[in-house]
Amino acid sequence: MVTYSAPLDDMRFLLHEVLNYDNTVANLPGYEDASRDVVDAVLEEGAKFCEKELLPLNLSGDQEGCVLENGVVRTPKGFREAYQHFAEAGWTGMACAPDYGGQGLPKSLHLLLQELICSTNLSFGTYPGLSHGVYNAVVLHGSAAQKERYLPHLTDGSWSGTMCLTEPHCGTDLGLIRTKAEPSGDGYRITGTKIFISAGEHDLTENIVHLVLAKLPDAPPGIRGISLFIVPKFLVNGDGSLGPRNGVSCGALEHKMGIKASATCVMNFDGAEGVLVGEPHKGMRYMFTMMNTARMGVGIQGLGLAEAAYQSAAAYAKDRLQGRALSGAKYPDKAADPIIVHPDVRRMLMTMRALNEGARALALWVGMAEDVAERHEDSAAREAADDLVSLMTPVIKAFLTDAGFEVTNLGMQVFGGHGYIHEWGMEQLVRDARIAMIYEGANGIQALDLVGRKMPLHMGRLLRRFFHPVQAFLEDNQDDPEMAEMVMALAKAFGRLQQATAWIAQQGLSDPEEAGAAATDYLRLFALVALAYMWARMAKASQAQLNGTRPAFHTNKVVLARFFMTRILPESSALFAKIMAGKDTMMAMPQEAF
C-alpha cells in the first residue's frame, strides 16, 4: 500500500515564505476572503478528504477497473460514493465563480488541491479535472444562455464534462477530423467517432457535457474549419430538467496500461443534438482554452504521483533491512542496517525529493501568475502574467510528467523486487504516470510549441517574462556570501540557456529542422534552469529562517537546494552540448534505413 501524507508544510512554505501569496494573490480583486487562514483550512480539509476517502480506493480501483454494461460504464466500487461526498463538500466548485454557485477561490489554491487528488487517486481526479476544463471553456466562450444552462451543474458536480478531440485516424493533427455538424432547426446534428475520451461515459453524475470538435458543411480545410459544439449525454429541457438520451453512446472501453479506474471511451455521435459554442470555425482557438488548463493539470498529475512515490520509497528505505553501511554498522543491534544508509539509495531519494519540491514551486509560481493574469487591476501586470503562463505551460506539462515517470521509476527501484509486485502499489504509480507524457499533447509536441510558437511570439516578449526575473535575482544576490554557491550554479546554467536560445532562434530562421531537433533537449534545459531558480529562491527564504522556530525544516531546504545545484543541474551542460551539435547526426540516416 502506498504511504502518503499531504505535504502541507511544504505547500505553506512556498505560499507564505517563498512566493509571497499574501501580496501576490490574496490582495487581488475578488480574492480578499482567500486569506492565509482560509487557505490553510482549505488545504487541511482537502488533505483529510484525499487521504481518508480517495487513497483507500486507489489500489482497488486499479484492480477492478471500469466495466461497460449495456452502454453504461460502471466505475469501481466506492467511486460513486466518494464522488458524491466530493461534490457535496463543494470541491467541484472550489475555483468556480460565485455567480454559478462556486466558492471563487484562487486557481493557485485549486492547483494544490489537484496535487493532493493526484497523489492519492489519479483515476478519480480525471473526472472532476475534465469537468473544470469544460467549465473554463464555457465561461470564456459560451453564450449567456449556455452559461446559465450548464455552469451551475458543472459547478455543483451534478453534471460532468469531457473534451472530444481525437479520432481513429488523427490525434495531434486535428485538421484531419471527419466528425460533421449539420444544421438542424435551432442547433446541429453531430455525427462521427471520437476515441481516447477520458470520462466519456460513467455512473458518477446525472449528465455528461461533451465539448466536441466537428466541421460544418461550409468549413474551410484544416484547423481553420473546426467548430466547437456542446453535446450533452441527456438533452436538457427548457425548464432545465433532463430530457431523453441524446444520440451519443460509448462504443467501447479502452484496456489501458494505467489509470484503469478512469473510463477511457470510444464515443459514437449518431446525429446527436448539439449547440455551437462561439463563432463557426473558431473551435480550435476555443478548445485551446481547455487544453491549456488541462496541460497544467496533467503536469500536476506527474507531480502528484511523484510525491506519493517519494514518500512511499522513503518510508520503505527506513524500514527495509539489507546489508551494512559502508562506513560500518549503524544499527549493530539489528541483523542489518536499513537501506537508507547506502549512498545509492540516498541518491535516488534525494533526486526524487529535489525534483518534486522544485516542480511544486515552479507550478505554484505559474499558478499564482494565472490568478494575476485574470484578476489584477493593471493591464500591464495582467499581460506580463499571462505571458509567463503561456510560456511555462508546455514546460510544466512536459517536464513535470517526464520527472513524474522518472521519480516513480526511482521509487520502484528503491523497493527492489517488492516494487514490481502489484500489492505494494509502486508499479501502479509507474503505470499511471506513463500516460501523462502522452495525452493532452505528447511531450515532444510541447517542446515544439516552446521553440516554434512561444519563443518567437511577440519578438521574444514571453521569454523575457522568465529571463528578466532570473537575471534580477542573480544581480540582487551576487554579493551575498551565503548565496554564492547557489548564484554561481544558477548563473552558469542560465548562461547556457541564453546561449542555446540565441542559437536556436538563429538556426531556426533558416532551417526549422534545427529547432525541431533541439526542441526536447531545450525544453529540459529550460526546465532545469527554472527549477534552479526556484531552488535558489527557496534557499534564500530558508537561510533567513535558520535561527527561527523550525531550524531543521529550513536547514533541510538548503541541503536539498545544494543537492539540486550539484547533482541535478549539471545535466544542463550535457543538454547544451546536444543542442549545439545540431540536427546532422539525427537527420543523416535515410528513411528507408529505419
Active site positions, annotated: 440
Rama region for 167: left / alpha / beta (φ>0; ψ in -120 to 50; rest): beta
Sequence-distant (≥ 6) Cβ neighbours of residue 188 within 8 angstroms: 181, 182, 214, 216, 229, 273, 274, 275, 276
Closest CA to 386 of 462, 452, 445: 462
Which amino acid, residue 212? V
Rounded CA-CA distance 307/202 in Å is: 28
3-class secondary-structure state, position 98: helix
In sequence order, which residues have a C-beta less than 8 Å from that of residue 592 and are 6 or more positions away? Answer: none
- Residue with C-alpha cell 460565485? 98
Read off the amino acid at residue 44: E
DSSP state string for 222-254: GGGG-EEEEEESEEE-TTS-EEEEPSEEEEEE-
Q: Can you list the positions of beta strands (E) in 426-534? A: none
Helix (H) or strand (E) holding 53: none
Task: Tell the residue number behind the cell numbers 468549413, with chain if given.
Answer: 219
| Rounded Cα–Cα distance for residues 591 and 589 (Å) | 6
Q: For every residue of 249-301, which 3-state class applies, written as one string?
A: EEEEECCCCCCCCCCEEEEEEEEEEEEEECCCCCHHHHHHHHHHHHHHHHHHH
Continuous segment of H or E residues that includes residue 45: helix 36-49
State the Cα–Cα distance between residues 136 and 128, nearest whole angstrom.
12
Can you tell me whether residue 193 is helix, strand or coil?
strand
Burial of 122 (0-12, 13-18, 19+ CB in 10 A): buried
Q: Which residues pair with 232 in a beta bridge?
A: 209
Which amino acid, one-letter code, is at 374?
E
CA distances from 10 to 18, 42, 286 (A): 10, 15, 35
